[in-house]
Amino acid sequence: MASEEWREDETPEDRDFRVLMEYAHGFMVSQVVFSACDLGVFDVIAASGTADVGAIARATGSSPCHTRLLLEACVELGMLRVGPDGTFANTRLASSLLVAGSPRCQRHMMLYLAGTPYRCWGQLGRAVREGRSQYGRAVGVDTEEPFAAIYRSEPERLLFMRALQETWSVCGGHVLTAFDLSPFRVVCDVGGGSGALACELARLYPGSDVTVFDTPEVIAAAQAPPFQSPGIEPVVHFLGGDFFRSRLPAADLYILARVLHDWTDEACAGLLGRISMAGGAGTALLLVEALMPPEGDPAGPVRLPALLLSLNMAVQTRGRERTEAEYQALTAGAGFSHFRVVRTRGPYATMLAWK
């Protein structure tokens, strides 16, 4: 309340200082979210509906004093609310997005961001100076191949796969219904990971025959728990290989969802050319990416998220986020002469290119 009163008559200089401090302390907010997820705070509260500091501290094996500080920070951030009796309850945000078992849960994404990306972002200045990813300094894997670092261990690979699975639990329906995909009977999701997006497509378009193509290690993980449950027949097929070298299966529609932004223009052109050849004359291509506005376009709030995602590519990969025109040029170069884009709800645009 005092902060709000202070803002009512703040000078431009006061505002500048406040905004700068909010930016500078943003990493602290991230760590509150990450730590609460790591400790399982939201799941502990969800188990009984409400809980006091002592119960939460005991369940998480944490210091009661410091647990209170963390909980009160979560209240200020809108993830928890505190009742007159001093007990804490999850808000709608936490119940929907941070409690295990919720169909929209993003807990694994939070845990992934707290690890590899967070450490890489600590090397942003070096990435800007050197023009290369910072895996060597951040995680001890000095490689130009991004997934050699992301998949440096089985737990890391599974965490990344589950994080992307959670992304599609929120965004999958939006990107797959931007266009009517029912005319495409045979679909191949290239780099489709756990198959979450492919399964959503099979659910939305029951007549489709969907295959996920990814590395053999990813495919092996995708066909086992926690991605597949024993006794439940998967609704999609899985095929292992290297999409830069292996033969790609024939399909009417190929999906590249958050794939091209990992790679250089040359690598993207090569992959799109291979897809074009594998699919034949009637092939179509569905791209799902965050779009950068054209240079000089005053895109307001849309521009900063895309810029931050592109910087994330700088610290972790050889790629970048691109403009609509750049994606159109890449697809046209591979023989896809028609191109349409729909900006969906959420961070991603859906682009459909066809011959």
Query: And the tokens for 327?
Result: 């994606």
Q: Active site residue: 25, 108, 174, 261, which one? A: 261
- Beta strands 237-240; 253-257: pairing state: unpaired
- 261 counts as catalytic: yes
**274 neighbors 243 (Cβ within 8 angstroms):** yes
CA gap 247, 87 in Å, rounded: 58
For 129, other C-beta atoms within 10 Å of its C-beta total 8
79 by Cβ neighbours in 10 Å (0-12 / 13-18 / 19+) ranks as buried
Catalytic residues: 261
